[in-house]
């Protein structure tokens, strides 16, 4: 393009002042080349900037994705169980302690559930309305203050027992979330405690309605079959029907008692029963002592055998009675005995050898000694008779004279016989005789002594019979 311009209006240089400024300025080709280079550099710079920005954004997005994924890792402690959700559905319900992964929301979620034991106290539901100071006191302490105020059914809590009496008790529940899946599916965390409370209260009312107030104050909280164990069972059954996933670990009854105004009366009854139990135990201990002293380890078996023997005699069962009597005699002499049951309500009796001891063995030993003594004396008398018979056959007069002299000597040796010697040649002798007072006194003393001995023996025999009768009654009871 040339710098020269053709002006159709006039020659150059003329009329320039009358023309306006040029709206377009044309450049030469050299100037156009410089402008294109500048534009290329500008475009390149813009592309480089866009490329860098894109790279940065890419890494930022990758970092965000990584952070999004890493946010799904969570730490689960020993006291927790984790449940992995994916799009609201349970994917894994038994994730233990450690680092566990779940896609973050909205894809998934990792729900951590405390599985440690939880404690819940129920102090006011079945107790009278108390002040803050009274709440720390037991039933006995409240009753010790004297007459308690009248009950107001609208404010005071209580329980009704099977005998339609009122009772009070506090409760402590120890529970845990044993099944996290069920718990997460069916239980609202905010309503969990209230659910457990209402379930336990309902079970307590049911269990308390099955026992009397006397049984309540006597039983221990942890004994099998107690109201606490029944209430625990009923509570667990209700929670299982709800598929709650909650397990009752233990339900304890605290400070049970009758109405506060009746506590002193119940205490008197319990004291009397305790005394009766003490006396009963003492009587049973005395009975066992007496039985052991009489028959040793075989005492209870002997009593049972004697009872069966008497029953067989009363029923006219002579063969069974003879068998039982023979067994009793065998036990008394220390032999081993086995007696089979003779009816459905009886059991087999087995007595080991030498089980019997005590007074029975002494009596049997004395009887055996007496039997041998009588036998020996009889044999001695028989031998003496045969000896005297032989002497009589050989020399009758000698034997009669000797026997007569022995009889006279034995007669004169008695304490009640007095011998008098008469002078030789006395033909007539008149005696005025009277019984010797000393002899009479000695005879009376001996007679009284014998009667006393017999009376003591009879009294001891009566006492032994009474003791055996009482022991038999206690054993039957």
Provide the number of structural domains found in the chain: 3
Buried b (16+ CB within 10 A) or exposed e, 138-160: ebeebbeeeebeebeeeebbbbe
What does the pLDDT look like over 100-130, one tens digit per residue? Answer: 656 567 665 656 666 778 899 998 888 888 7
Residue 316 domain-assigned? no
Q: Are residues 232 and 130 in the same domain?
A: yes
Residue 365 domain-assigned? yes
CATH number at residue 135: 3.30.479.30
What does the pLDDT look like over 4-30, one tens digit per residue? Answer: 444 444 444 444 454 555 555 555 555
Closest CA to 124 of 159, 163, 165, 84: 159
Distances (CA, A) of 114 to 20, 49, 169, 451: 90, 53, 30, 90
Q: Are residues 128 and 250 in the same domain?
A: yes
d(CA 15, CA 10): 7
403 phi/psi in degrees, rounded to 5: -65, -40
Buried b (16+ CB within 10 A) or exposed e, 280-314: eeeeeeebeebbeebbbebbbbbbbbeebbebbee
Confidence of residue 376 (pLDDT cuts 50, 70, 90): very high
Residue 104 domain-assigned? yes
**pLDDT at residue 223 is higher than 60:** no
**DSSP result, 7-24:** -SSS-TTSSTTTSPPPS-
Residue 250 corresponds to which tokens in the numbers above? 């233990």
The pTM of this model reads 0.48
Q: Are residues 259 and 396 in the same domain?
A: no
Distances (CA, A) of 28 to 6, 31, 34, 37, 208: 17, 5, 10, 15, 114
What does the pLDDT look like over 152-172, one tens digit per residue? Answer: 777 888 889 998 888 888 899
**pLDDT at residue 290 is higher than 70:** yes
Q: Are residues 107 and 174 in the same domain?
A: no
Residue 339 domain-assigned? no
Q: What is the dihedral of CA 380, 383, 386, 392, to 10 degrees?
A: -60
CA–CA–CA angle 250, 254, 259 (5° rounding): 140
Neighbours of 400 (CB within 10 A): 11
Which residue reads 């929301």 in tokens?
A: 105
Confidence of residue 98 (pLDDT cuts 50, 70, 90): low
Q: Are residues 105 and 148 in the same domain?
A: no
Q: Are residues 109 and 151 in the same domain?
A: no
Q: Are residues 250 and 367 in the same domain?
A: no
**pLDDT at residue 289 is higher than 60:** yes
Distances (CA, A) of 134 to 128, 217, 256, 311: 10, 21, 16, 63
d(CA 355, CA 296): 7
Residue 328 domain-assigned? no
What does the pLDDT look like over 237-267, one tens digit per residue? Answer: 999 999 888 899 999 988 888 888 787 788 7
Which residue reads 């009923």 in tokens?
A: 234
d(CA 36, CA 13): 34
Q: Are residues 103 and 147 in the same domain?
A: no
Which distant-in-sequence residues (6+ apart) come within 8 Å of 238 by Cβ? 199, 202, 203
Q: CA gyration radius for the chain?
A: 59
d(CA 178, CA 79): 12
φ/ψ region of 455 (left if φ > 0, alpha if ψ in -120 to 50, else beta) reads: alpha
202 or 76: whose pLDDT is higher?
A: 202
SS3 200: helix
Q: Are residues 187 and 80 in the same domain?
A: no
Which distant-in-sequence residues (6+ apart) come within 8 Å of 403 by Cβ? 388
d(CA 294, CA 204): 52
Q: Among 242, 271, 300, which residue terminates a domain?
A: 271
Which residue reads 């799904």 in tokens?
A: 72
What does the pLDDT look like over 297-348, one tens digit per residue? Answer: 888 888 888 888 998 899 888 888 888 888 888 888 888 888 888 888 888 8
Q: Give the single-character DSSP code of 365.
A: H
Residue 320 domain-assigned? no
By the 8 A CB rule, do 116 and 140 touch? no
By the 8 A CB rule, do 59 and 68 touch? no
Residue 278 corresponds to which tokens in the numbers above? 């003490």
Q: Are residues 82 and 124 in the same domain?
A: no
**pLDDT at residue 143 is higher than 90:** no
Q: Are residues 98 and 152 in the same domain?
A: no
User: Alpha helix (H) ranges present in 13-113?
Assistant: 29-70
Q: Among 114, 131, 146, which residue terminates a domain?
A: 114
Domain that holds residue 154: 118-271
Q: Are residues 370 and 255 in the same domain?
A: no
Label residue 92 exposed, middle or buried (CB < 10 Å: 0-12, 13-18, 19+). Answer: middle
Buried b (16+ CB within 10 A) or exposed e, 7-28: eeeeeeeeeeeeeeeeeeeeee
Residue 110 domain-assigned? yes
**pLDDT at residue 472 is higher than 90:** no
Residue 282 domain-assigned? no
Confidence of residue 235 (pLDDT cuts 50, 70, 90): very high
Q: Among 66, 87, 114, which residue terminates a domain?
A: 114
């Amino acid at each position: 393009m040339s710098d020269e311009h053709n002006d159709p209006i006039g020659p150059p240089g003329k009329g320039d002042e009358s023309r306006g400024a040029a709206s377009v300025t044309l450049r030469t080709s050299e100037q156009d080349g410089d402008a294109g280079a500048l534009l290329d550099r500008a475009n390149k710079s813009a592309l480089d900037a866009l490329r860098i920005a894109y790279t940065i954004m890419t890494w930022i997005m990758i970092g965000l994705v990584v952070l999004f994924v890493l946010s799904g890792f969570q730490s689960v402690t020993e006291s927790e169980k984790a449940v992995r959700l994916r799009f609201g559905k349970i994917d894994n319900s038994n994730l233990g302690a450690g680092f566990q992964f779940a896609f973050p929301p909205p894809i998934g979620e990792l729900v951590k559930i405390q599985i440690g034991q939880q404690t819940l106290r129920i102090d006011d539901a079945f107790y009278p309305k108390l002040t803050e100071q009274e709440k720390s006191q037991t039933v006995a302490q409240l009753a010790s203050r004297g007459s308690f105020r009248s009950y107001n059914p609208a404010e005071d809590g209580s329980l009704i027992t099977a005998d339609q009496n009122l009772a009070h008790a506090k409760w402590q529940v120890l529970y845990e979330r044993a099944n996290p899946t069920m718990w997460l599916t069916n239980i609202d965390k905010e309503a969990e405690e209230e659910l457990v409370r209402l379930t336990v209260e309902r079970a307590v009312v049911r269990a308390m309605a099955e026992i009397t107030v006397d049984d309540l104050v006597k039983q221990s909280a942890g004994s099998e079959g107690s109201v606490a164990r029944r209430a625990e069972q009923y509570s667990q059954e209700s929670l299982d029907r709800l598929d709650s996933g909650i397990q009752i670990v233990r339900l304890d009854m605290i400070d049970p008692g009758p109405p506060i105004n009746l506590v002193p009366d119940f205490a008197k009854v319990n004291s009397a029963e305790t005394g009766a139990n003490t006396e009963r135990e003492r009587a049973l201990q005395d009975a066992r002592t007496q039985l052991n002293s009489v028959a040793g380890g075989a005492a209870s078996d002997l009593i049972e055998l004697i009872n069966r023997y008497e029953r067989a005699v009363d029923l006219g069962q002579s063969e069974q009675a003879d068998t039982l009597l023979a067994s009793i005699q065998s036990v008394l002499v220390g032999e081993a005995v086995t007696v089979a049951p003779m009816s459905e309500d009886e059991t087999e009796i087995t007595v080991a050898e030498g089980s019997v001891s005590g007074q029975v063995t002494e009596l049997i030993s004395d009887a055996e000694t007496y039997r041998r003594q009588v036998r020996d004396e009889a044999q001695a008398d028989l031998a003496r008779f045969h000896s005297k018979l032989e002497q009589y056959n050989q020399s009758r007069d000698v034997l009669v004279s000797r026997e007569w002299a022995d009889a006279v000597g034995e007669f004169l040796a008695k304490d009640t016989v007095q011998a008098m010697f008469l002078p030789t040649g006395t033909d007539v002798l008149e005696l005025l005789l009277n019984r010797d007072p000393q002899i009479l006194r000695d005879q009376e003393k001996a007679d009284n002594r014998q009667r006393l001995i017999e009376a003591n023996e009879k009294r001891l025999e009566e006492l032994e019979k009474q003791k055996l009768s009482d022991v038999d009654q206690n054993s039957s009871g």
